[in-house]
Amino acid sequence: MTRWAMVADLRRCVGCQTCTAACKHANATPPGVQWRRVIDVEVGQYPDVQRAFVPVGCQHCDEPPCADVCPTGATRKRDDGIVAIDYDICIGCAYCAVACPYQARTKTLRVSFAYGQASEHELKRQDDSRLAVATKCTFCVERIDDGLAKGLKPGVDPQATPACVNACISDALAFGDLDDPASKVSQLIAANEHFRMHEELGTGPGFFYVWDRKGEDAR
């Protein structure tokens, strides 16, 4: 089996938002819609306070609450762990957006452009199938599927790897197969203390955050 997952190394993320820009460019999301965001948080208590940058987006859960509430089956979890949306049968009810504890879904009702009047580039990439339906991070599933069809390895070959991971200037993001012990994501999780957002909800996110090495290796 394959279980695609992403890891963010909070020791490395510098909050540059390059992943956000890469996602927007790759997916042509409209103004105000960001499938990959980076939040700025304070950790600790004065005077021992640190600043941390945390990439967020769809967590591609093992038990996605968005899929549970979808009345048409438009949202489903694939066998490889990616939570996908079929725009053709999504009715735009937004039940999924309400159910998602990660605020990862958006619904765009009308066409808009960054500077009012559309540029030639924006017109070419306008996708009306994403109007009045739920949208979110897809882990760049088209790149993954196309890459696999060409014999490429997601998380290793850039052409088959999510755009945000490719663009990260500090190597803070990693992608790969959680079921492969040799993958970068598996090795990062095995070697480091880690957490997943809202684990207490039992959603089983496929997005992990690491921050320090385990046990005797800690520095």
Tokens of 133: 């339906």
Please tell me the total count of domains within the chain. 1
Q: Is the pLDDT of residue 63 over 90?
A: yes
Model confidence, pTM:
0.91
Domain that holds residue 17: 4-204
Tell me, yes or no, whether 126 lies in a domain: yes
Least confident of 34-48, 97-111, 112-126, 170-184: 112-126
pLDDT of residue 218: 47
DSSP one-letter code for 49: E
Tell me, yes or no, whether 14 lies in a domain: yes
Q: Is the pLDDT of residue 87 over 80?
A: yes
Pair 22, 173: CB distance under 8 Å: no
- Please list the residues that pair with 83 across neighbouring strands: 77
Q: Average pLDDT over the chain, rounded to whole?
A: 94
Tell me, yes or no, whether 135 lies in a domain: yes
DSSP one-letter code for 200: G
Tell me, yes or no, whether 93 lies in a domain: yes
Confidence of residue 121 (pLDDT cuts 50, 70, 90): confident
CA pseudo-torsion sign 171, 172, 176, 182: positive
Tell me, yes or no, whether 209 lies in a domain: no
Q: Is the pLDDT of residue 199 over 60?
A: yes
Beta strand 83-85 with 75-77 is antiparallel
Number of other CB atoms surrounding residue 130 within 10 Å: 20
Tell me, yes or no, whether 218 lies in a domain: no
pLDDT of residue 148: 98
- Please list the residues that pair with 75 across neighbouring strands: 85
Least confident of 20-24, 25-29, 115-119, 170-174: 115-119
CATH of the domain at 162: 3.30.70.20
Tell me, yes or no, whether 219 lies in a domain: no
pLDDT of residue 138: 97
Number of other CB atoms surrounding residue 82 within 10 Å: 22
